[in-house]
Amino acid sequence: MDDLVQTPGLTLAPTREEELRERDRARVQEARARHRPIWLFFLLAGPGILVMLGENDGPSMLSYATTGASYGIGFFIPFILLTFFMAFVVQEMTVRLGIATQRGHAELIFERFGPFWGYFSMLDLTIGNVLTLITEFIAIRAGAAYFGIPALVAVAAGVVVVILSVSFRRYFTWERAALALAAFNMLFVPAALMAHPDWNAVAHALGTWSPLPGGVTAVFVTLLLADVGATVTPWMIFFQQSAVVDKGMTRDDLPQGRFDTGLGALIAAVAAIAAVLVCVPLFEHHVNAASFSGGTDFASALRPFIGGPGAALFALGMIEAGIVAAMTISTSSAYALGEVLRSKHSLNASFVSARPFYITGALSVIVAAAVVMIPHAPLLAITIAVNVIATLLMAPALVFLLLLANDREVIGSLANGIKSNLLGGAIVILITLMGTAYGLITVFPGLIPK
């Protein structure tokens, strides 16, 4: 919060940011007073759906596609559902923290744990965000290449869209624009239907959790970590908590915030499983996805099996995944830096009053786009590696989240209960074990077969 010095008897005029947020709150209160639950949810929906569909980003969809091409229908479909349940458990805590404190995640860590751990968490976030933003532009470039669009044009257009999205200087408008774009994540569903998956096999996989074909290998562990990193990452915590605050949500809005997060997890899980199913024909026809360089290769390889329209939908879905994630991830970086600097950090604020906030978002996007233009980069290897790194960075972020969600001086009556702590603790242990396993096979590659 900004520290304001008020002269006795002098009332300060509300800022533009405060006026816009109050206008949004007035509409919410009117909808609640008139008992219009659907309209109320429409007004309050956004942070949860966006954070889940934003995480269905370029590297995530390529990880799911690689999973389908490598293992087909079976073990990974129920595993993906489990990871989105994990994501819901984690993100629901951020909703409660944002509502209870009206502060962003970075700000809370600095306040409760001091500068050392505050800068540690910022380093954790920065590494993950920079690497992930690079892969978002890889996805945009790869998807556009399928349609013959030059890389420079595609990447530049992506930068323009992301930067223009914040030019409205209005959180609600930015959120609605991002949600409209995020809806195109569902393009993977009709593409999957064109692959004619065996629905009996899908039902069997969901009902029995099919055993893994080929046993535990280095490829399996890498894809396992990549799929976890495709659903649970540090930027999600920072983004959703700050978005809840920027939206002005209160304790009365908690049920809608939880539903928003759960619905987002469900929609994103459907799109993720669709990305697996659309690439199952590559598995069935023994196409080696390990040699692919990115989304273009997937779309081109799929064309003989699902047709031109299906391959085009896959490529368009990759473009959407990259753009929406670039919007949300760059905003999470801008929120966090604004909180650390104690400067204005709101999409409702003017450029003049929140210059570091807007410049951070724009610069992070421009730098990531420039890196993507480096020739002959191994695009698919980079995208899989980024999801693995995201998993490795997640354990410390989760520890901070759990500590804050149990600190009653911070969160009060909205603190974690036994169930949330058990689930959260189990997620930390699972992710730590996965990270340890990956570290061991990296240092000692002979431990398990390739």
Q: Give the whole-angstrom CA distance, residue 195 versus residue 305.
A: 7
Q: Is 174 in contact with 168 (CB distance < 8 Å)? A: yes
- 8 A C-beta contact, residue 125 and residue 48: no
1, part of any domain: no
**How large a percentage of the chain has pLDDT more than 70?**
88
Most confident of 275-289, 294-308, 424-438: 275-289
- Number of structural domains (the chain) is 1
User: Which is more confidently placed, 226 or 175?
Assistant: 175
The answer to whether residue 175 sits within a structural domain is yes
Q: What is the tens place of the pLDDT at every residue in 111-170?
A: 888 888 888 888 888 888 888 888 888 889 888 988 999 989 999 999 999 888 888 778
32 belongs to a structural domain: no
Give one word for 69, left, alpha or beta, with left for phi > 0 and alpha for psi -120 to 50: alpha
User: H or E segment at 323?
Assistant: helix 295-341
Is 176 contained in some domain?
A: yes
Residues 9-61 pLDDT 10s: 555 566 777 788 888 888 889 988 888 999 999 999 899 999 999 888 888 88
In a domain, 47, yes or no: no
Q: What is the pLDDT of residue 156?
A: 94
- What DSSP character marks residue 197? -
Has residue 53 been placed in a domain? no
Nearest to 175 by CA among 58, 27, 327, 319: 327
How many whole angstroms separate alpha carbon 50 and alpha carbon 228? Answer: 18
Cα angle vertex 213, ends 210, 215, to 5°?
A: 110
Which secondary structure element, helix H or strand E, spans residue 225, and what is its range? helix 218-229
Question: In this structure, what are the phi and psi dihedrals at residue 30, rounded to the nearest 5 degrees?
Answer: -65, -45
Q: 186 in a domain, yes or no?
A: yes
Residue 103 covered by a domain = yes
CATH number at residue 303: 1.20.1740.10
- Is 293 strand, coil or helix? coil
What is d(CA 55, CA 227) in angstroms, rounded to the nearest whole number?
Answer: 11
Give pLDDT, residue 49.
94
Residue type, 103: R
Over residues 274-286, mean pLDDT: 91
Under 8 Å between Cβ of 151 and 141: yes
Domain membership of residue 328 as a residue range? 60-407+418-447
Q: What distance lies between CA 444 and its chain's CA centroid?
A: 31
Geometric angle at alpha carbon 90, from 132 and 382, rounded to 5°: 20
